[in-house]
Amino acid sequence: MCPVLLVARNVAIIAILALGVTVLPGGGNAVTAILTALSLAFFAAIAMLIGRAWKQTSLTRDVMDERQRTIFYSSLGALALMIAGLDELLESGPGTVVLIGVTGAAVYFAVTTWREATSY
């Protein structure tokens, strides 16, 4: 099938689904349910990816010395706190600056420590 026809078919399918959601009664609730299900599936996929990466890198984490392990886990904890407080931090200018600064520092320290631990 021609690529242009495939794109046109896909756009038509999306347009028909969007028309059904907007015209049918209760469409707003259906959209909310669909978006919630898609969000949950997306977060579950991310969690599975993180779990798999965590298992595959266990040897590297085990060989880190105490200082490296402390820096690495502290960086992960800082990232988790920034994700948890994302809404509140983005409400003000100083909060956004703190978010960007702490996230940047955490990523820098995690990556630097990881490189140091995996270099020979």
Write out pLDDT tens, residues 71-107.
999 999 999 999 998 888 888 889 999 999 999 999 9
Sign of CA dihedral 68, 70, 75, 77: positive
Condensed to tens digits (0 to 9), the pLDDT of residues 37-60 reads: 888 999 999 999 989 988 888 888
Angle between helices 93-118 and 66-84 (to 10 degrees): 150
Domain range summary for the chain, segments of one domain joined by +: 1-56, 57-120
- For residue 64, give the DSSP letter: S
pLDDT of residue 3: 82
Residue 105, C-beta contacts closer than 8 angstroms, at least 6 positions apart:
78
Which pTM does this prediction carry?
0.61
